[in-house]
Amino acid sequence: MSERPVAILVKRFPKLSETFILNEVLGLEALGRSLCVFALEQASDTIVNGAVARVRAPVELVVQASMKDWVCVLGRRTQRIVAGVRAAAAEFGARDWPAVSQAVAFAAQLVRAEVGHLHAHFADRPAAIARVAAAFAGLPFSISAHAKDIYLEQPRRLARRLRLARFTVTCTGHNAQFLRTLAPRANVMRAYHGVDLGALTAAKVEAQSPPLVLSVGRLRAKKGFDTLVAACGILARAGRAFVCEIVGYGPEEGALRREIEEAGLAAHIRLRGKVPHEEVIAAMRRARVFALPCRVLDDGDRDGIPNVILEAMAVRTPVVSTRVSGVPEVVTENETGLLVEPDDPEALACALARVLDDDALAARLGAAGRSAVEARFSLDGDITRLDALLGASLRNDPPAPITAYILKGFPRLSESFISNEIRILESMGASIDIYAIKPGDELGAAALSEIRAPITYLPPMTSISGVRLERWLFENLPAYFSACASLALQAPRAFFATAARAIAMTRAYGEAKSGALRKVFIKEFLQAAYIAAHIRKRGQTRHLHGHFCHGATTVTQFVSELCGVPYSFTAHAKDIYEAKHNPGDLLPRKLAGARFAVTCTEANRAHLLEKGCECGGLHTIYHGLDTELFSPRVGVRDGGGPPTVLSVGRFVEKKGFLDLIEACSILRQRGVAFRCRIVGEEGEASAAMRALIAREGLEEIVALSPPAPQRALRGIYAEADIFALPCRITASGDRDGIPNVLAEAMAMELPLVTTDVSGILELVSDGVNGMVVKPGDAAAL
């Protein structure tokens, strides 16, 4: 039996400025998916994209409900009527009866078309109507979220739709991160809009003279066309020969015409209005540079990744744009294009001038832009992913067994290896739930766009150190009481036995000198109870995995006892070597109870085996990295000026940054010309590092920079000449495993200098793929 069709709900179809929806429909049909397209409003464009003729799906207009529609909908099961009425009340109440009527009409259309799944484009009104119609029709629904519909919608309503949808796709990582933060447990994933590379061949035509600066888009404030007009004024006053064409229509047309006339730029800038898509592509081929200086408006409205940027890159036209929303996900500074800050006409004019003046730069950016689109934005890439999601919904595939990841904080920039691990496991078909004791950090949040796993954040707790237990329980137990009560009723034996063990551990692993109780186990038991109650309620979790073998794994072990689900964990560095994190025989007991354990270096594994630790299996699995992201960037490094020594990591003692600064002082004394840049998060060594830089007079040579997310870090590596990380072992035993930054630098083909600490020699061979010195030896370094 063939699968039932998928309904695609849009505001209007076709619409000239929404080529991405047309491409999606064509892409799904090319994969064999049966579709029906429904539009909430009549199409109004006088010019239509020629590719519309290839659409096979019927297109129906959704109007106000007729009596026949009401009978069709209200004659269905009582359960569906109640669900529809509740959805309509939540979305529209009594304030928007026309929307309710339209939703009822749409539900009747869905029933008559025997649709199996409903997919709505835009998360505002179309998603609201889709939610109500799907409830009346008894169908699952999903959402494609874009830009304005995300940032201008009321957050609570948007979050509710995200949670109820079978899944939500959005067109940029920036959007996905925002939506995941808004609704952590929603099934949100990034799916880039692709372009038809077959229709957008890479062959460039001969550029016109004078050179053409092209821009395309709706004439709206968020596109930044006024900034482009101002930048063109700067270029014209500098005596440059060029013409600028702005293709599009919209409410800003009158204001732009006035600006052009008042600036005396009529000979340089032409507003072309609506133009067929084929003519737009032809203009892109002729253009020397494509410019789109997007901005974020005061109300939050912004672009995602404008499709016109992808199309320009696909035909090898260099792109100049702004660091707004998802644009940096496709335009990498000085690699696949040039980026400036929004609302900065001087910077925009400078960037345009660079491309106009430099043939080699224009050719390099154009070729790299085409390669980037081929690698990540082809029409068939994320369309296949969307088709798989629609197919799973149509088949009503049973939920897959879940692995619960239990983490102290998520997502964290310094623990990108965890988000990479989850991303790769999901790509292999694993279903994962994340339970995070604390939120992560802002820079680490970029990882949310790469994963699908729902995240449950535990209620915040205050510190238990230095506080009487009774007072701490009074302040913190209320948020956890219902979970504890639920477990006590459902699994009393497991609950009270685990609670008794946690209490016994406070005394068994108490402070040796003072005899004080280690009350943290009470805290970790309550956290485990909260997670266990969620897991029991959901009923699909078959395995638990903790990261770092101290607090998070203690919680994981307690959850295992409360739920009867096996567990495993990954041990890293500090959590293994510093005794205070696992006092007494706590770590061997965790290993003995685990189904298996993983660590990230052979050195760590050998250390654990030497301590007599046993478990079902102790494995070394190295942290990998994205070798597509971290790859050599030809032609980016600037050969002028002194070489740059780069180091990356948290400003903590074990990274050896004080040794690096001393080595820089020695080099300066020898008369070597160089610069050193240390990039990382503030830590306990920050003050000592700054003091040493000042004492040695290195302020003009050594710079401390704030941390950077992974994609920005790639650019930082590309600007460096040498990478140095002189790790050391601290007095407490703390040390690194194999710092991921070493592998990233090596993938970028940076020459490497490091130390023979822990697992580093498993990656770096002295004199073969790097230079290795003894830790703490600044002269050797």
Least confident of 209-223, 250-264, 386-400: 386-400
Report if residue 389 sits inside a domain.
no
Dist. CA 262–CA 282, nearest whole Å: 30
Q: How many CB atoms lie within 10 A of CB 61?
A: 14
CB 151 within 8 A of CB 41: no
Q: What percent of the chain has pLDDT over 70?
A: 98
Q: How many CB atoms lie within 10 A of CB 437?
A: 22
Report if residue 349 sits inside a domain.
yes
Task: Please check whether residues 478 and 584 belong to one and the same domain.
Answer: yes
Task: Please check whether residues 371 and 311 belong to one and the same domain.
Answer: yes
Q: What is the pLDDT of residues 295-335, one digit of tens each?
A: 999 999 999 999 999 999 999 999 999 999 999 989 988 88
Q: What is the pLDDT of residues 126-179, one digit of tens each?
A: 999 999 999 999 999 999 999 999 999 999 999 999 999 999 999 998 899 899
pLDDT score recorded for residue 639: 60
Least confident of 136-145, 276-285, 709-718, 732-741: 709-718
Q: Which of 134, 155, 190 is the last residue of a domain?
A: 190
Which strands make up the sheet holding 338-340, listed edge to edge? 269-273, 243-247, 212-216, 289-292, 319-322, 338-340
2 burial class (0-12, 13-18, 19+ CB within 10 angstroms)? exposed
Task: Please check whether residues 593 and 671 belong to one and the same domain.
Answer: no
Q: Give which of 126, 131, 145, 124 is closest to 190, Cα–Cα.
A: 145
pLDDT score recorded for residue 637: 58
In three-state secondary structure terms, 437 is strand
Question: Residue 629: pLDDT band by 50, 70, 90 thresholds?
Answer: confident
Whether 732 has a pLDDT exceeding 50, the answer reads yes
Task: Please check whether residues 169 and 128 belong to one and the same domain.
Answer: yes
Task: Please check whether residues 614 and 668 belong to one and the same domain.
Answer: no
Report if residue 206 sits inside a domain.
no
Question: Residue 380: pLDDT band by 50, 70, 90 thresholds?
Answer: confident
pLDDT score recorded for residue 173: 87
Predicted TM-score of the model (pTM): 0.81
Report if residue 633 sits inside a domain.
no
Q: Which of 567, 586, 620 is the last residue of a domain?
A: 620
In three-state secondary structure terms, 392 is helix
Whether 400 has a pLDDT exceeding 70, the answer reads yes
Q: Domain span at residue 681?
A: 644-773
Dist. CA 333–CA 773, nearest whole Å: 35
- Beta-carbon-side half-sphere exposure of residue 653 (alpha carbons within 13 Å): 9
pLDDT score recorded for residue 657: 98
Task: Please check whether residues 448 and 592 belong to one and the same domain.
Answer: yes
Task: Please check whether residues 186 and 229 belong to one and the same domain.
Answer: no
Report if residue 40 sits inside a domain.
yes
Please state, rounded to an integer, the average pLDDT across all residues of the chain: 93
In the block, which residue shows the tokens 């409900």?
65
Dist. CA 85–CA 229, nearest whole Å: 51
In DSSP notation, 450-476 reads G----EEEPPP----TTS-HHHHHHHH
Task: Please check whether residues 579 and 690 belong to one and the same domain.
Answer: no
Dist. CA 286–CA 24, nearest whole Å: 27
Q: What is the pLDDT of residues 231-248, one digit of tens each?
A: 999 999 999 999 999 999
Report if residue 732 sits inside a domain.
yes
Q: Which of 327, 360, 377 is the last residue of a domain?
A: 377
Whether 1 has a pLDDT exceeding 50, the answer reads no
pLDDT score recorded for residue 632: 85
Q: What is the pLDDT of residues 67-122, one digit of tens each?
A: 999 999 988 888 999 999 999 999 998 789 999 999 999 999 999 999 999 999 99
**Residues 640-664: what's their mean pLDDT?**
96
Task: Please check whether residues 513 and 596 belong to one and the same domain.
Answer: yes
Q: How many CB atoms lie within 10 A of CB 552?
A: 25
Report if residue 149 sits inside a domain.
yes
**Residues 607-614: what's their mean pLDDT?**
79
* Domain count along the chain: 4
Task: Please check whether residues 615 and 674 belong to one and the same domain.
Answer: no
71 burial class (0-12, 13-18, 19+ CB within 10 angstroms)? exposed
CATH of the domain at 145: 3.40.50.2000
Whether 394 has a pLDDT exceeding 50, the answer reads yes
Task: Please check whether residues 609 and 470 belong to one and the same domain.
Answer: yes
Whether 631 has a pLDDT exceeding 90, the answer reads no
Report if residue 634 sits inside a domain.
no
Task: Please check whether residues 268 and 372 belong to one and the same domain.
Answer: yes
Question: Residue 209: pLDDT band by 50, 70, 90 thresholds?
Answer: confident
Q: Between residues 281 and 205, which one has the greater pLDDT? A: 281
